[in-house]
């Protein structure tokens, strides 16, 4: 009995000494959507709508994401932001809540430029941003969408048609209205 108690104490002590594994970066593969809900009703895409620029990029955890794979199944809202952008920070809590409300029906994807990994991770955790975030290190993705500064938003229909973009971004209530007008049937 005494030996078992000593062994248990050793196991507990060794467990306390080991470094816990750090949490996965926010905005990584764990934030990707689940299956598309059954019966998702979407508005038809207007004829002659241009295609959205296709891109592949690394999420915050290094996982590669091909955005076309997402919009093959459902609409996508692209949020272009940076942790140092004050307008982005002012809007982010409400946008994060909106993204959670549309989870799996409309996928929100962050595209971040000019940011440091630790600052970005802290920003995403502070604002409870639970959507995938692509790191656009050289700005190629942003330039392909004509984004000159963070805070921009683009809405892409299922199938990849670029429905609308807002260079200065939108607040959550206005974006919610636009999603309902442009995407949901």
Residue-wise pLDDT for 119-159, tens only, equals 999 999 999 999 999 999 999 999 999 999 999 999 999 99
Q: What average pLDDT does range 57-73 have in this prediction?
A: 96
d(CA 38, CA 134): 27
* Cβ atoms of residues 154 and 170 within 8 Å: no
Q: What is the widest separation between alpha-carbon atoms in the chain?
A: 79
Domain covering 24-182 in this structure, CATH number: 3.40.30.10
pLDDT value for 25? 80
Mean pLDDT across the chain: 90
Give the rounded percent of residues in the chain with a pLDDT score beyond 70: 88
Please state, in angstroms and as integers, the Cα–Cα distance from residue 101 to each residue in 5, 77, 98, 176, following that order.
50, 13, 5, 10
Number of H helices, E strands in the chain: 6, 7
0.85 exceeded by the pTM? yes
Q: Please state, for a pLDDT cut of 90, what percent of the chain lies above it.
A: 84
The domain limits of the chain are: 24-182
21: pLDDT strictly greater than 90: no
Burial class (CB in 10 A: 0-12, 13-18, 19+), 8: exposed
């Amino acid at each position: 009995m005494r030996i078992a108690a000593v062994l248990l104490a050793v196991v507990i002590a060794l467990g306390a000494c080991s470094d816990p594994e750090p949490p996965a970066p926010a905005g990584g593969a764990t934030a990707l959507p689940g299956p598309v809900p059954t019966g998702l009703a979407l508005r038809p895409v207007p004829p002659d709508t241009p295609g959205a620029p296709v891109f592949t990029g690394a999420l915050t955890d290094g996982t590669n994401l091909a955005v076309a794979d997402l919009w093959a199944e459902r609409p996508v809202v692209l949020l272009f932001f940076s942790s140092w952008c004050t307008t982005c920070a002012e809007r982010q809590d409400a946008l994060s809540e909106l993204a959670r409300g549309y989870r799996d029906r409309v996928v929100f994807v962050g595209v971040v430029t000019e940011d440091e990994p630790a600052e970005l991770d802290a920003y995403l955790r502070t604002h409870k941003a639970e959507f995938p975030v692509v790191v656009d290190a050289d700005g190629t993705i942003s330039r392909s969408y004509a984004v000159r500064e963070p805070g921009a938003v683009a809405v892409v229909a299922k199938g990849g048609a670029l429905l609308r973009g807002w260079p200065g971004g939108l607040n959550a209530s206005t974006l919610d209205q636009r999603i309902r007008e442009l995407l949901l049937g």
